[in-house]
Amino acid sequence: MKSSLKKLSKGLLTASAATAALSFSVISQAADTIKVGVLHSLSGTMAISETTLKDTVLMMVDEQNKKGGLLGKKLEAVVVDPASDWPLFAEKARELLAKEKVDVIFGGWTSVSRKSVLPVVEELNGLMFYPVQYEGEESSKNVFYTGAAPNQQAIPAVDYLMSADGGSVKRFVLAGTDYVYPRTTNKILESYLKSKGVKESDILINYTPFGHSDWQTIVSDIKKFGNAGKKTAVISTINGDANVPFYKELANQGIAAENIPVIAFSVGEEELSGIDTAPLVGHLAAWNYFMSAESEINDEFIETWQAFTKNEERVSNDPMEATYIGFNMWAKAVEKSGSTSVDSVRPAMYGITVPNLTGGTAVMNTNHHLTKPVLIGEIQDDGQFEIVWETKGGVIGDAWTNYLPESSKIVADWSAPIKCGNYNLQSGVCSGQNY
């Protein structure tokens, strides 16, 4: 009895000591670390793509800590799972900002997830980096967009197709999955093509549901559309795994890339891994980064990435580069301003430059979009892309496209004197509405 009482009291003592130590360590950590929030889906439909970006942020945090952290403090990643559920993105963002008190968030993939987070980061004055190519028409004070705006992907892709190297294409099929990004992008492209003198009858627009698998009719229509005496190309905003049966059907119906090339905006190394790409050779994709880019910094990045994931076959892709650029810019801005507070980091971001993985430099502009080069790659039989064309120097990301009448009069500029993400040049009004 006595001994058991002794045991109990001893146990209690250890437990309380442990609790004390634990709470102490939490306090000391809170004081000593800079918290980096990671808001990427780790389950649900988007998990396939977003898990990679979570790992990228973790790797970047790791690397930064190896270099001694920031401002003499270690970085600490706080990972949450919004589970591909759009309203949950807002809740998790609130949790990160209000409860975890993170200094910066890296996250989001789909446009709808970003739109869901916007009101939260604006209300709580957070800072978010969004790393995926998107349809533009937005610039929030609290978000930096490190993926491509339409003029950094879609427009150069069309320019390439219309050039002699791209085959002097005169007729276009715009094929997309039926949701926001393809619809907005195609609206912009249609208006751009018309401004380049392409006739209405030379444009065919087609939408299909998510996960569409019976492409017979559409591919046969594309084939017929391509037989009208003018070089034809397909601009594809088809999303996710619907691409596999689409490309298969193209190959089966005998449409080779030399006859009717397909240029895709949502197909990268990650999407091609695990697909037999032999029948796809020669089809194109437009991005700001390809894994095959030849530069020392890229070799180094891939090596670190494959070591971090312990997988020598692991590929890298464009949204990863955007995360890489965003993270490095943020780190540089924190060091420049000597603080992690949003109000001092944000102005320090403007004009900041970091090397991008393709060998040039990326610049952050006052409209919260990047200046970076645009590349066109051809699919190879090993699932990689061969870069066949690139812009000379960087292209400045344009938040509000010039090719839609209602947004051509709007500009985004967060520096004085405009200080607005949607300033109407004609009326002089800042609408302030982002969502």
Partner 1 sequence: MNWRLWQALPLVCLCLLFVFSAPGQVLASSDASSNEELATMLGEKSWDKLETAITRLSVKGDDESQNILTLWLSGQLFIEKKTQRLVTAEKSGRTYLISDPISGDAWGEVKKRSLKKVRINNRLRNSIKTALALWDLKSEDPDKRLQAVKEISKDINVSTLPLLEGMVEQETDTDVQAALTTAIALYNFQQGSDELKLESLKTLAESDNPIVRSALESAKNTTKDKQLLQGIHSALADLDRRQDYYSAVESMFFGLSLGSVLLLAAIGLAITFGVMGVINMAHGEMMMLGAYTTFVIQSAFPSLIEQSLFIAVPMAFIVAGSVGILIERLVIRHLYGRPLETLLATFGISLILQQAVRTIFSPLNQAVSTPEWMSGSWIINDALSLTWNRVYIIGFSLAVFLTLLFILRHTRFGLNMRAVTQNRAMASSMGIHTSRVDALTFGLGSGIAGVAGVALSQLTNVGPNLGQNYIIDSFMVVVFGGVGNLWGTLVAAMGLGVVNKLLEPWAGAVVAKILVLVFIILFIQKRPKGLFALKGRAVED
Contacts of partner 1 in 156-215 (CB under 8 A) = 164-168, 178, 206-209, 211-214
Q: Which residues 6+ apart lie within 8 Å of 49 measured at CB?
A: 109, 270, 319
Comparing CA positions, the residue from 172, 159, 175 lying closest to residue 228 is: 172
The only residue of 72, 197, 229, 428 in contact with partner 1, by rule CB under 8 A? 229
Minimum distance, C-beta of residue 237 to partner 1, in the bound complex (Å)? 15
Minimum distance, C-beta of residue 165 to partner 1, in the bound complex (Å)? 6
The only residue of 276, 335, 343, 406 in contact with partner 1, by rule CB under 8 A? 276
Of the pair 248, 336, the CB lying nearest partner 1 is at 248
Cα separation, 303 vs 295, whole angstroms: 13
Minimum distance, C-beta of residue 257 to partner 1, in the bound complex (Å)? 5
Contacts of partner 1 in 93-152 (CB under 8 A) = none
Contacts of partner 1 in 246-275 (CB under 8 A) = 248-249, 251-254, 257-258, 261, 274-275
Of the pair 168, 341, the CB lying nearest partner 1 is at 168
Minimum distance, C-beta of residue 361 to partner 1, in the bound complex (Å)? 22
Of the pair 224, 409, the CB lying nearest partner 1 is at 224
Of the pair 339, 380, the CB lying nearest partner 1 is at 380
The only residue of 73, 119, 194, 282 in contact with partner 1, by rule CB under 8 A? 282
| Integer CA distances (angstroms), 368 to 112, 123, 201, in order | 19, 18, 37
Residue 47 binding partner 1, by CB under 8 A: yes
Minimum distance, C-beta of residue 181 to partner 1, in the bound complex (Å)? 16
Minimum distance, C-beta of residue 132 to partner 1, in the bound complex (Å)? 19
Minimum distance, C-beta of residue 242 to partner 1, in the bound complex (Å)? 8
Q: What is the total count of residues that contact partner 1 (CB under 8 A)?
A: 53
Minimum distance, C-beta of residue 179 to partner 1, in the bound complex (Å)? 11
Minimum distance, C-beta of residue 183 to partner 1, in the bound complex (Å)? 12
Of the pair 208, 407, the CB lying nearest partner 1 is at 208
Binding map of partner 1 across residues 296-325, x = CB under 8 A, - = no contact: ---x------------x-------------
The only residue of 29, 125, 195, 220 in contact with partner 1, by rule CB under 8 A? 220
The only residue of 245, 347, 355, 360 in contact with partner 1, by rule CB under 8 A? 245
Cβ-contact 65, 34 below 8 angstroms = no
Minimum distance, C-beta of residue 44 to partner 1, in the bound complex (Å)? 10
Secondary structure string (H, E, C) spanning the chain: CHHHHHHHHHHHHHHHHHHHHHHHHHHHHHHHEEEEEEECCCCCCCHHHHHHHHHHHHHHHHHHHHCCCECCEEEEEEEECCCCCHHHHHHHHHHHHHHCCCCEEEECCCHHHHHHHHHHHHHCCCCEEECCCCCCCCCCCCEEECCCCHHHCHHHHHHHHHCCCCCCCCEEEEEEECCHHHHHHHHHHHHHHHHCCCCHHHEEEEEECCCCCCCHHHHHHHHHHCCCCCCEEEEEECCHHHHHHHHHHHHHCCCCCCCCCEEECCCCHHHHCCCCCHHHCCCEEEECCCCCCCCHHHHHHHHHHHHHCCCCCCCCCHHHHHHHHHHHHHHHHHHHHCCCCHHHHHHHHCCCEEECCCCCEEEECCCCEEEECCEEEEECCCCCEEEEEECCCCEECCCCCCCCHHHHCEEEECCCCCCEEEEECCCCCECCCCC
Contacts of partner 1 in 370-399 (CB under 8 A) = 378, 380-382, 386, 388
- Which residues form the interface with partner 1 (CB under 8 A)? 47-48, 164-168, 178, 206-209, 211-214, 216-218, 220-221, 224, 226-230, 241, 244-245, 248-249, 251-254, 257-258, 261, 274-276, 279, 281-282, 299, 312, 378, 380-382, 386, 388
